[in-house]
Each structure stands twice: as C-alpha cells, then as structure tokens.
Amino acid sequence: MNSKRKSIFKGEGFVNFSSSILAIICGLLFGFIILLASNPSQAVNGFMMIIKGGFTDGMKGVGDVLYYATPIIMTGLSVGFAFKTGLFNIGASGQFTAGAFAAVYVGIKWTFLPASIHWLVALLAAILVGALVGSIPGILKAFFNVNEVISAIMMNYIGMYIVNLLVRNYIYDPLKNQSVAVAQSAILPKAGLDKIFVGASLNIGIFIAVLCVILIYVILNKTTFGYELKACGLNPHASKYAGINEKRNIVLSMVISGALAGLGGALLYLAGSGKYLQVLDIIAPEGFSGISVALLGLSNPIGILFSGLFIGHITVGGYNMQLFDFVSEAIDIIIAAIVYCGALSLLFKTMIHKIQMRRAKKAEAKAVGTDNNFSESQ
C-alpha cells in the first residue's frame, strides 16, 4: 500500500497537477496584493468574489464560465498542440482573428445557404482560414528555417490589419466602427442550454470545444501520427534518422494548430452574444490567454480543458468584483496576473522534479549504507 502511494506521488500526473496548483496559488496571492493596494477595506470581499467566480449567480454564472472558457480552450489547444511538437505558436491571435472574420463573413454574406447548415459552413470556413494562416509560419520554419516565433508574431499584425481592411470593405457598419450582425441562421444552436443556463450566452460551442479536446488527446496519444509529431518535438535529429518526415510534420502541426485557433474565433463571434469584429489596431487577447492556458495545463489536452474552465471562472469573478467599487482597470490587472502566472507551472514542475531526484538519491545512499553495514556485520 505504501509503495503504491509513493508511486502515485512520484508519477508524472501528480507532478503536473502540483505544479499547476502552485502556479494558481501564486497568481491568486499576487492578485490579493493588488486588491490590498487598490482598495484595502474591500480587498477580502473582492478576493472572495474571485474565488467564488461563476458560482455567485447560480446557473447563469456557471453558463457564463462555460461561455468565457470556450474560445480560450480552443486557443489553448492550438498553442498546446504546437508545444507538444516542439513549436511555439505565438501566432494564435492572428489565426483566431482570421478564423473569426471568415466565420462572420460567411454568416453575413452566404445567406443563400440552408439555415440548417449555415452555421456549420461558417465554422468550416473559420477552420480552413485559420489553417491557412497557421501554415505560413510552418512552411517558413520547415523549408527556410525561419524561427516560428518571429514569423508568427508578424502574422499576428498582418492578420489584424488585413481583417480590419476586409471588414471595412465588405461587412462594415460605419456608425459603430464594427462588422454588421450575422444572419440568425449562422448563430450557433443553443441545444436547450439557454433553458438550463437562463440568461447566459451559452451554446453548443462548449460541446465542440470538448470534442476537440478529446480528438487532440487521441491524436497525440493513440495514433502513429501523434507519436511522430511528439518525436519531432522531443528530438528532431533523432526522428529524422528514424525516417520521420520532419518538414511535413512541422507544417501539419502548424496547420492543425491554426485550424484550432480559427475555430475558436468562430465559436466566439457566432455565439449570438452581441460580439462584433471591431476595426481597432488591437491584437485579439484570446490568443495570448491561450498561451497561459496551455502553460497552466502543461500542454496536455485534458489539462488545457480544466485550466480554460478555471480562467473562465476567475474572469466571471473579476467582473462581479465591480460590486465592491473596484475599477475595471484593477480587475483586468488581477485577471492578467492570475492568467500569466500560469507560465510558472513549468518552473514549479522543474522544481518538483529536482526535489524528487534529491529524495531518491538520499534514499538510495541510505539503502547502500544499510547494505554495507549488514555485510560488515556478517
């Protein structure tokens, strides 16, 4: 029994879970310090509101958590999938924005489609455009050895400015400086969720996100293709000598990563929640939130699902903090601090591994000493 318990504490799953929990605790503590600095008298109440998150408003609050979590789960999957294959897809924001535009454009212009498949075609358009945008850094990396971080950052800005231009030319509402509303047939079906989570903007997007989590998990852990992708990420040179087509896998990895981010953009802008493509020189924050979600979930699809739900939970709690006279800027800083402390999970994982190695060496030295004493006594 004791040996089984020890093996659980030494397992990779326990290390990953512990490192993520430590990162969350650090983020929450940092957020509490910010609350104390901005409004000491209401700091405890505000902090408890963050902890309660979506549970403060019944089923509507839970629905809001799922709504906010959906797009960042998708961008988290996008970044995490690339991480698993040794690539840093920092261009998820550009892919997210491009996919969102494709979905919104189809939702506005392609009203000739049957209502039953209009939203589905819009999602497919977002996937294709996101994959296309994601393929560019992949091709540059595979065939020209251009660092994917640099090219992906450039694609963020290129995607933002091109989408702004396209919105102005084709689907622009000049009075509001944003895209016009999509057709009702392009809005994602509610599937009865509006009756369960009354007042929330929830739809089948959360189910699509969960299906993507399962699909990516199966691809990475149960298929030869996933094994090849991870092999390229762990050791490109060894995988090349093993006969794995490294260039093909780099491109495919970025294509799949871009498709996931593009789909995330569609799930947000086709939710029917009053979200529009605004013509602003601002990169979509969901892509950068996806980086933190991936880091917090340690690039594991299941971990990304739960870390995305956690970020959605504290986001709802942050909005509710306005009841205690916290300004919106303070709320944004707190949420950002908690989100980006997710990057510390990798640091904590390394620390836990070092502690385990140190204990293992001590135990081994003790065992050797015991054996020597026993042989001397003989």
Region 100-124: mean pLDDT is: 97
In three-state secondary structure terms, 179 is strand
Residue 353 lies in a domain: no
Per-residue confidence band for 373, with pLDDT thresholds at 50, 70 and 90: low
Asked if the structure places residue 369 within a domain, the reply is: no
**CB contact at 8 A, 95 and 134:** yes
Residue range 196-252, pLDDT digits in tens: 999 999 999 999 999 999 999 999 999 999 999 998 888 877 788 888 898 999 999
Burial class (CB in 10 A: 0-12, 13-18, 19+), 116: exposed
Do 190 and 55 touch, CB atoms closer than 8 A? Answer: no
- Identify which has the larger pLDDT, 271 or 22: 271
Residue 148: which CATH number? 1.10.3470
Domain for residue 145, yes or no? yes
At residue 175, φ and ψ (nearest 5 deg) are: -70, -30
276-314 pLDDT, tens digit each: 999 999 999 999 889 889 988 889 999 999 999 998 998
Helix H or strand E encompassing 47: helix 43-52
Higher pLDDT, 24 or 261: 261
Q: What angle separates helix 148-170 from helix 115-144, to the nearest 10 degrees?
A: 140
Query: 348 lies in a domain?
Result: no
In a domain, 184, yes or no: yes
Residue 79 lies in a domain: yes
In a domain, 217, yes or no: yes
SS3 284: coil
Ramachandran sector of residue 284 (left: φ over 0; alpha: ψ -120 to 50; beta: rest): beta
For residue 65, pLDDT beyond 60: yes
Exposure b/e, 206-235, CB count within 10 A at least 16 = b = bebbeebbeebbebbeeeeebebbbbbbee
Domain that holds residue 24: 13-335
CA dist., res. 133 & res. 156, Å (int): 10
Q: Identify the pLDDT of residue 39.
A: 86
Provide the domain count of the chain: 1
The phi and psi torsions of 188 (rounded to 5 degrees) equal -60, 135
What Å distances lie between residue 103 and 200, 314, 374, CA to CA? 22, 28, 74
pLDDT tier, 315 (very low <50, low <70, confident <90, very high otherwise): confident
On whether residue 138 sits in a domain, the answer given is yes
Lowest average pLDDT, out of 76-90, 146-160, 361-375, goes to 361-375
Rounded distance, CA 95 to CA 274, Å?
21
State the chain's mean pLDDT as an integer. 88
